Structures are given as C-alpha cells and as structure tokens.
C-alpha cells in the first residue's frame, strides 16, 4: 500500500516536472522569458520583539526568477540542469547524493552551494521534500557510507523495524548500536516497547550508554545523529515520533553548539525551512546539560571551560563541513556572539522561554562544559544517576 503510494507520488512529480519544462520551452519558443516563482521560507527571525509570523509554515515572500535579470540567468540555468538529473533519477528509480550531482557538471556548478540552492528551489517549486527527488545528503552520505556501510545515525534499544526488506531487530541485542540506513523513506513496520526516546548529541555518549547496558534497565530507544543531525537523522526521528507517539528527550553539551543542535532537532534549520514540517521534532524536551547542572551535580571548576574567542574549532569545522553557508558564515563568531545571536531568535521567546533563560544563564556565567564532565565522579554516572533521575523527575524543560 505504502509502496503504491510512493509510486504514484513519483509519477505525479514526474508529470509536474514535464509540465514545468514544457512551459519553459514554450515561453522560450515564443521569445518570452519564463517567470519562475520561488517562495521564500524562514523558521525564525532575529527580532524577539517583533510581531512576526515565523511560527506558521506559510511562505514569507516570493522571488520571481526571470531571464531578463542577468544575475538570475545562471540560477535558472543551474536549476534546469539539476532538474534534468533529478528527472533521470526518478525515471530510473535510483538515488544520488548532492555531491554526486555536483560532480556531474563541476565546471558549470562551480560550488556545492549552487547545487544545494537548485535542489532547495526545486523542492519549493514542486512542494516536495528532498527525499521525494531521490536525492540524499552529501558529506555524511559520502564519508559515513564508506565508514559504516551507508548509515548516518545509530540507534539501540526497544525497537524493531524493516528497511527495504532487511530486518533491524534492536530488541535482540539491547546494547548493540544499529546503524540506520540513509534511505529512511524505506523504513517500515516499526514496532517498539519503549517508554521514551533519548537523542544524544555525541557518539561517545551513545557508546558510553551502550557499554553501561543502559537500555537493559531503561525501557527506551537511544538515537545519535553523531553531532549536527543531517536530514536522514531528523527524518528517522520524526518517523519514530509519528509512529510511536513517545516523549523525546535530548541530551547535548552545555555549550552554544550543543544548543544549536538541540534547536535544529526541535525547530529545524534555516536552510531547510521550506521543509520544516517533515523534519522537526516539535515535542522534543531538553534533558540537559543545563548551566545549572554544573552546581547541582558538582562539576569541578577545571571541567568548566570559558566561552572563549575560539569556540570549539573542531566541532565548528565539522558543522560547517556538513552544513552550508549559515554555519560557515558563523565560523568567525565567538561562543559569546553565537549565544547572543541565538537569544534573538523569535521561536525561543515565543515557544521556549525556559530554554532562553538557560541560554542567558550560560552567557552570564561565561562557562560551558561537555556532557562527559558529569561523569567526573563515576564512569556510569550518566546512565545510573543523571539520565534516570532527570526522566523520573521530568527535570527536562518542555
């Protein structure tokens, strides 16, 4: 049934693509410039006082691309090139990464960002998600595919599912990390006996929980997107939430980057604002680590790091590698400036004032710490004390 639905969706999309290209050709044959209307989306603005409407999924303006404007000719050209590739992928029922597409015409595309924008334009034009175009993400796809056989995220715990006919039975070995396939749309038959889902920022923390056999004593599903979550990770989490209707808690480092990761899970990223509805986890709760945890759980002074000028360079580069311009642009920002900028986001004031308060506290104290710093007193502190007590006391903010 689901398969038939996907086939008709693809057929529908192919029909729309053909109609679109036909109308362009007709315009050109008549000597007219085609006019391509691209809606603009954003998931937040930087004016918490403004009476904005960022919370709605409606477009926040539109741009008309035309050959009459020289600056737009290249954008239209690239859009049509990528559209042709997408059409081939769909017709042949194959998948390709954004990077694969770039390498099909590197001299024309000039940069990966050109392909990324063309794909975003196509999704907006045809009102679909990137996965509908049979296009998968870039960096994680290319590198992680090699490292872990095509998987971008890890999962363990009280869960069973199938993907393209393959069985994933995490229940058979509760402390084993199962890599989840990139093609999340083919995940089906999800069965779970879990009481909640725990998303952890870092793979090291995930492995710590696996070593501690966390899921044997806690009836949950643990997921990690290995840092900044890519589209597959967010789609998989969204799928679990929709099918299982379980509470979702998120555990990140107590620093601006950890908070950025948390915000991306919950509110989506600006680059994918046009597809926020299929990617965000609107009910996600922040389990920790909060600035106040350092006192409550006695994190020693030497584990508290100042919010410095350099920030976390490695993590920063990682973010900018897997994600596009906005992160790259922020490469020069310090921890403090980045935190100040995040405090302005309208969604925090509107929906998560408690999160905003914690962020303000972080800024006021001027210190950050990693989740692992909580383990200073005992290696299993996270799995035996911290996480269970937070879950029990509902210590996470909604």
Size of the site for Zn ion (CB under 5 A): 4
Structure tokens at 329: 């642009």
Q: Give 54 or 85: the residue with its C-beta nearer to Zn ion.
A: 54
Alpha-helix runs per DSSP H in 250-367: 256-267, 276-279, 293-296, 313-322, 325-329, 335-343, 346-351, 353-365
Cβ-contact 281, 241 below 8 angstroms: yes
Binding map of Zn ion across residues 345-374, x = CB under 5 A, - = no contact: -x----------------------------
Q: Is 309 exposed, middle or buried (0-12, 13-18, 19+ CB in 10 A)?
A: exposed
- Residue 45 touching Zn ion (CB under 5 A): yes
**Residue 178, phi then psi, degrees to nearest 5:** -105, 120
Element (H, E) at 161: strand 159-163
State the nearest-atom distance from the C-beta of 344 to Zn ion, in Å.
Answer: 10
Stretch that binds Zn ion, among 6-14, 43-51, 121-129, 203-211 (CB under 5 A): 43-51
Q: Count how many residues are written for the chain.
A: 398
Strands of the 220-224 sheet, one edge to the other: 178-181, 151-157, 220-224, 196-200, 248-251, 285-288
Among 102, 103, 141, 228, the one annotated catalytic: 103
Cα gap 300→294, rounded to integer Å = 8
Stretch that binds Zn ion, among 45-53, 218-226, 296-304, 374-382 (CB under 5 A): 45-53
Strands of the 187-192 sheet, one edge to the other: 166-169, 159-163, 187-192
State the nearest-atom distance from the C-beta of 267 to Zn ion, in Å.
Answer: 11
Q: Give 45 or 376: the residue with its C-beta nearer to Zn ion.
A: 45
Q: Give 326 or 361: the residue with its C-beta nearer to Zn ion.
A: 326
Q: Give 54 or 276: the residue with its C-beta nearer to Zn ion.
A: 54
103 is catalytic: yes
Stretch that binds Zn ion, among 39-47, 116-124, 228-236, 373-381 (CB under 5 A): 39-47
State the nearest-atom distance from the C-beta of 301 to Zn ion, in Å.
Answer: 39
State the nearest-atom distance from the C-beta of 346 to Zn ion, in Å.
Answer: 3
State the nearest-atom distance from the C-beta of 49 to Zn ion, in Å.
Answer: 10
Nearest to 252 by CA among 298, 288, 203: 288
The conformation of residue 172, written as its DSSP 8-state character, comes to: G
* Residues in 309-348 at the binding interface with Zn ion, rule: CB under 5 A: 346
The residues binding Zn ion (CB under 5 A) are 45, 52, 54, 346
Active site amino acids: 103
């Amino acid at each position: 049934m689901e398969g038939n639905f996907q086939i008709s969706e693809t057929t529908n999309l192919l029909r729309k693509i053909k109609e679109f290209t036909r109308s362009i050709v007709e315009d050109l044959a008549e000597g007219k410039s085609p006019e391509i209307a691209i809606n603009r989306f954003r998931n937040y603005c930087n004016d918490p006082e403004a009476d904005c409407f960022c919370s709605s999924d409606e477009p926040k303006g539109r741009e008309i691309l035309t050959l009459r404007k020289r600056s737009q000719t290249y954008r239209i050209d690239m859009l049509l090139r990528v559209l042709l590739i997408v059409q081939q992928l769909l017709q042949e029922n194959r998948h390709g990464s954004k990077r694969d597409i770039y390498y099909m015409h590197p001299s024309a595309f000039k940069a990966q960002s050109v392909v990324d924008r063309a794909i975003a334009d196509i999704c907006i034009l045809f009102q679909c998600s990137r996965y509908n175009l049979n296009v998968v993400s870039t960096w994680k796809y290319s590198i992680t595919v090699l490292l872990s056989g095509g998987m971008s995220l890890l999962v363990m715990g009280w869960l069973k599912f199938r993907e393209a006919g393959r069985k994933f039975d995490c229940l058979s070995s509760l402390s084993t990390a199962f890599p989840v396939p990139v093609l999340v749309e083919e995940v089906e038959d999800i069965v779970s006996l879990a009481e909640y889902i725990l998303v952890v920022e870092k793979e090291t923390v995930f492995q710590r929980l696996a070593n501690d056999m966390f899921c044997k004593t806690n009836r949950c599903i643990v997921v990690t997107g290995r840092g900044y979550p890519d589209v597959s990770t967010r789609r998989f989490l969204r799928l679990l939430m929709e099918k299982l209707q379980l509470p979702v808690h998120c555990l990140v480092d107590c620093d601006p980057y950890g908070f950025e990761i948390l915000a991306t899970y919950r509110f989506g990223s600006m680059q994918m604002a046009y597809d926020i509805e299929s990617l965000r986890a609107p009910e996600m709760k922040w389990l920790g680590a909060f600035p106040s945890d350092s006192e409550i759980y006695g994190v020693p002074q030497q584990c508290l790091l100042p919010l410095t000028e350099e920030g976390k360079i490695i993590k920063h580069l990682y973010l900018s590698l897997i994600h596009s311009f906005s992160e790259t642009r922020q490469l020069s920002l310090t921890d403090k400036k980045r935190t100040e900028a995040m405090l302005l986001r309208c969604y925090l004031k509107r929906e998560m004032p408690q999160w905003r308060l914690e962020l303000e506290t972080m800024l006021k104290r001027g210190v950050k710490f990693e989740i692992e710093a909580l383990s200073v007193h005992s290696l299993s502190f996270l799995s035996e004390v911290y996480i269970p007590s937070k879950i029990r006391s509902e210590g996470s903010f909604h």
